[in-house]
Structure 1
């Protein structure tokens, strides 16, 4: 996970509203071990494979997040519509995006459990935008997220959008997840 203080730059992958955890990583792909590096990479391959077409949220032209027979995406920033990550509480959803190479997700609202799983597991940084950027940004646009300035710069379109600060979760994000934060703060013993 990127440190929330650092600028994140890369290509945008734009999705629609109400992207649920079964679309992010379909249940049929929950057969791989997250602890085995050879199996873990398949979560990256199948990230967002449950989003079948533009009506369900895939970008125009039905561009997949991860190309067939690859394990990582060329897109490292997801821009979603409202209620991103709704559905079940599976932590495999933010983990699969992280494994696919996604560093951050920008959406106007997140399902609470997806937001917490993203932060607590140290997977991807969930930034809340003040407006629905899925209507402004296009898949493939080059973006820069500037956490200190609380803005997203669309380099391709020469536009700037506001994001909310992470607030109290910033310390967890910066530590790399809830367990690393707890170790750093002396709440649990270091390994």
Structure 2
């Protein structure tokens, strides 16, 4: 009888105490993309228009997220697990690929069956095979850091258009009104 009373009391206490379990919040797709990219990209800064490497690798990440985000294959609340899943996918994809970078904008991929080159056409990177057929296309992706706010005379300029105009430098001379200065 003591066990029944104890069980009823514990159940009533748990129900009345307002214990609530919340599921971990799934990061949005953009946050996951940024976290995975920052973890895997170890390349040089590029504006996305000079070299195709970063743009192509970012394109692969986008496609992988499009195909997998929100599916039951991963615990999407665990960024480490998702990053590891993408790394595994990428390693399996490029197994046997030979990347060649001529350090002058030319970047190619050779596989056992094909050879791919890249060219920028109408603002999109075109991936063509050895026959000249376009097999994929994707937008440029910049790996450059965002520009810092402009610095002038030791003062940081945060010009978002909300303030009145500022004069940078020295103002020499006075101000004139419309009635002054013109007629003599």
Interval of TM-score (by shorter of Structure 1 and Structure 2): under 0.3
TM-score (norm 2): 0.28
TM-score (norm 1): 0.27
Q: With a CA cutoff of 8 Å and minimum separation of 6, indicate the structure with the bigger relative contact order.
A: 1
Max radius of gyration: which structure?
2
